[in-house]
Structure 1
């Protein structure tokens, strides 16, 4: 892998560049789902401890992002949507990114163990390792199933939040994991349908590159069907209820409908309208996950009252 360093005359790194290194948009999802996992757990946690726990989980997520950018700097420089990231643009060196990633990883795991419990800290350490090594270094460049298997890294945060409160794992936390795990492939493959050339140029074996768009469309629809039972099952557990179930049924009906529309699309028609349907389903997928976890919070609040 080509080593990329800040070139002579490159703009000097600013604070925002180091924040960008931590993938703040991805971190926001980590923070939100981890917070929900912690708050809906059946154990009361002191607000200060809860705040610190979520903060250190967020730092762990940011550390994973920095390690991902460190290793993927070569392909980030090729892809249109990533070439302005701090390392390809020359504002931050790969060595800096590696040091920040390792340093924040150690800090996040150690502090989470001290403020919450060591089971949750070990879980966070495993998640960082899974994302940085199993997904980024191994799966991403090796198999079109990279998103499927690697999606586990993004599905662990609510389990970590739950573990911060309870010190363990339960059916509720496993179903929150399943909700994100089975949501990840249709979410990213919908994006890949209208970003195929980026992955092709970078040599990333995304499903659209290795098997084509028609196969990707079938996989998207199949995963929306697999996802729905797990999402609704969560509503039948101790953290679910009628409010969550109503939201989940509506969202899954819309998501399955979107998957069906993608499946039925003719590629020429998709090109003609600029992948309008695929982009709409991708935006729906963002709201799908956010509203499911928001509904869990709302259900917990209603249950408390």
Structure 2
């Protein structure tokens, strides 16, 4: 075997691995984590106990396909601004490590696959909700709102709320009021979570011409909005207590106080003119949501009712 052949044989697995990692990056795996954090608790609450493990696996897989498709199509639509922003400059389409046409086909295939998978393994409603989520995220948020309004993540964040609806519908075949409250929790949590990150990278958004709120408003105005949405988020978590139990209610209250304290601390620092670290709130907001929904999962699995239920 020649040196060239040896090099070619050794390089092939490496190139394949690089290509696979590029396609994985298109799906934004960290964003998909939200699916895992919120879908299972929603399914457990819908059943008020232990759900068939196969149903959970099928729902999660279908949801992951939907999220992968939506995120990939988002990367295709945002390739131009991803090249400008430092935070996103390493994404596959910004670096041109994946052809745009291939990414589009991959995004469409995973999106269509999610519908048929959920329809086949759960029910039609779950499949339709997945398709609606993808369409909303790509056409309403990415193509219509993101580059036109500073309130883009307020309305666009609705796409990130859909995993709880899909999880609930997979178990019940319907959409109950607790699913709508869980939707509201994530809907109101998304702006403070996203704006805290955008405060850190506001220059990126300015360079890309994306009117994210921190790029077009003062820090004081942004942090005030963060405080308002944080309060509404915490109130929404408490509104779910009657459908859950005392364990969830206790954790939601304590975690809510902690989340509010962080938001008010950020706002107070900006008012005093002190250097602030909004990225800390962004990271801790992930922990807050995880704690609340994990408590909901445990509470639902153990079926611990509130005293007044």
TM norm structure 2: 0.89
**Between structures 1 and 2, the one with greater helix share:** 2
Alpha-carbon distance between aligned partners in 2 of 1:292 and 1:123, rounded to the nearest angstrom: 24
Separation in 2, partners of 1:270, 1:80 = 25
Cα pair 1:31 1:57 within 8 Å, conserved: no
User: Which of 241, 244, 248 is the matching residue for 2:245?
Assistant: 241
Residues 158-217 of structure 1: CA deviation (Å, up to 9, x unaligned):
111100110111111011101100000011111111211111111110111122222101
Deviation at 1:45, TM superposition (A): 4.7
SS in 1 for 2:211: coil
* 2:99 is the counterpart of 1:93: yes
d(CA) in 1 for partners of 2:119, 2:32? 20
Q: 1:16 aligns with which of 21, 30, 39?
A: 21
CA distance in 2, matches of 1:119, 1:149: 22
Q: CA deviation at 1:220?
A: 0.4
Unaligned runs of 5+ in 1: 1-10
2:7 is matched with which residue?
none
* 1:144–1:206 CA contact under 8 A, matched in 2: yes
Please tell me whether Structure 1 or Structure 2 has the larger radius of gyration of its CA atoms: 2
Distance 2:197 2:250 in 1: 27
Unaligned runs of 5+ residues in structure 2 are 1-14
* Structure 1 counterpart of 2:136: 130
Q: Partner of 1:251 in structure 2?
A: 255
Q: Secondary structure at 1:168's aligned position in 2? A: coil
Alignment RMSD (CA, Å): 1.8
Count the aligned residue pairs. Answer: 289
Q: Which secondary structure does the structure 2 equivalent of 1:209 belong to? A: helix
TM-score of the pair, normalised by structure 1: 0.90
Deviations 1:227-281 (A, max 9, x none): 11111111221xx11111111111111111112112222378544xxx33x2222
Contact kept? 1:105, 1:128, Cα under 8 Å: yes
Note the alpha carbon deviations across 1:4-55, whole angstroms, 9 max, x for none: xxxxxxx885211111111111112113312222232127753223211210
1:28-107 superposed matches below 5 A: 28-42=33-47, 45-107=51-113
